[in-house]
Structure 1
Amino acid sequence: MKISARNQIKGKIVEIEQGAVNGIVKIDIGGGNIISASISMDSIKELDLKAGKEATAIIKASSVMVGVN
């Protein structure tokens, strides 16, 4: 599959929090870093996402906010 998004980060699914409509998929990308994505439960089922499965976080955004403490 080819896509236009340049920010593609491979990892392993470590947890899926299921909700009524959406779920939170947590992907371990290494170095103690976890990326979380909110996607529909239909997509979770269609992609057959499960903990332990390899996955790629694909990030496409028109803006990124940065904050400091």
Structure 2
Amino acid sequence: MLWRCARECGAKGSKRYPTPQDAERYAQAFDREDLADMGRRTPLGLLPLRLLRTWRLRRRKESGGGSPPREGS
């Protein structure tokens, strides 16, 4: 299988697979847009920030204080 970046970043290469079906399976996996899963899969590095935000929102609810922060704050 030969491949090159569709976004024209210059990346390209080749790899041999045992069968054409294997090559097709890998090609489909690489062609998938990661944006479709955005929001459902949070990068692991952001986990502490999400936990902190959840904790702050819970504390704010319990104390009866104000509305939650605006998105992006």
Q: TM-score, normalised by structure 2?
A: 0.24
Choose between structure 1 and 2: higher strand proportion: 1
Choose between structure 1 and 2: higher helix proportion: 2
Q: Which one scores higher on RCO, CA 8 angstroms, separation ≥ 6?
A: 1
